[in-house]
Amino acid sequence: MNTKQALLLAAGSANRLLPLTKELPKSLLPLNGKSILENALIHLSASGVESMKIVVGHCGQRIRDRFGDAFLGMRLEYIENPIYQTTNSMYSLHLGLQGMAGALWVLEGDVAFEGKVLHFAHPADISWFIDSQATHMDGAFLRADFSGVVNSLRIIRPPEKAGQGDLKSIGILHLSPAAVPMVRQWLSLGLEKQQHNLYYDLILADHLKERLISAVDIQGSRWYEIDTAADLRTAQELFR
C-alpha cells in the first residue's frame, strides 16, 4: 500500500548558501528549471502521497506563496517553526509530527532525488534511506549489522573521515504507523534534555539499542544533499 502522507523539513536559514538564501529558503533554490522542493513534491505525488506538511521558518512565506494549499492534487499544510534560528531539525520534526498518525515519509528540504528512490521497500518501523556508494558528502553516516539494523550513527565532516561500513544518510525516512508516536516521544524526551539545537539524527541515535531502525540502501540512485553553492552546481549537473 502506498504511503499517503509526508512531512518535509524546510525551516533552516541555510547560512552556508549565502547570499543565495538571503531572501529565499534553500528549498526554493532552482534546480534545472524546478526548485528543490518542487522536485520533491512531484515525486511524492507520483508515489501516491495525498497530503503533506511542510515545516517552514526562514522566508517561509515564499514557500506558501509559491505552492499555496495544494500541488498536483496533494493537500499542503504549513507548520511554522518560530524559533528556527536557535533550533535544529529535531525541533522542526517535533513540530511537524504533532497530530500526525499513520505511515508517513519524512524528508529534509535540501535533498534532490529521483523518483525511484521512493519505491524501495521499507519493511522496518523506521526505515532510514542511505546510499552505500556515496563517499563524497559529509553529514550523518550510519552503520548497520548483517540484517540491516542500524547500530551506530556519527556526524562526519569532512567526508574523507568516513570509513568502510559508514553509510551516508540521504535525508529521507519512512515511518510506520507504530513509529510515529514513538519518534514523537523520543523528540519530547530530547526537548526535556534541552536538545533543541540537535539534528534529529542524533535524537534517533540515542535509541538504536531498541533495534527499530533499519537501513534502506538506494545503491547509487541519483540524489544530492545541497548545503553549499558547489553542491547546488553539482546537483544541477547530476539532474541535467
Give dist(CA 100, CA 21) in Å, integer: 30
Where does 56-214 have alpha helices with state H? 60-67, 89-97, 179-192, 200-205
pLDDT for 159 equals 84
Neighbours of 207 (CB within 10 A): 16
228 vs 160: CA distance, rounded Å: 17
Kind of pairing between the strands at 223-225 and 111-113: antiparallel
Beta bridge pairs of residue 217: 130
Torsion of CA 9, 11, 15, 20, to 10 degrees: 90
Q: For each of the chain's 240 residues, which pLDDT tens digit applies?
A: 689 999 999 999 999 999 999 999 999 999 989 999 999 999 999 999 999 999 999 999 999 999 999 999 999 999 999 999 999 999 999 999 999 999 999 999 999 999 999 999 998 999 999 999 988 888 999 999 999 999 999 999 988 898 889 999 999 999 999 999 999 999 999 999 999 999 999 999 999 999 999 999 999 899 999 999 999 999 999 998
Q: pTM of the entire structure?
A: 0.96
Does residue 56 contact residue 63 with C-beta atoms inside 8 Å? Answer: yes
* CA pair distance 67, 74, nearest whole angstrom: 11
| 168: its cell numbers | 551516508
pLDDT at 136: 83
Question: Residue 236: its pLDDT value, please?
Answer: 94
CA proximity to 7, closest of 128, 103, 127, 82: 103
CATH number for the segment(s) 5-238: 3.90.550.10
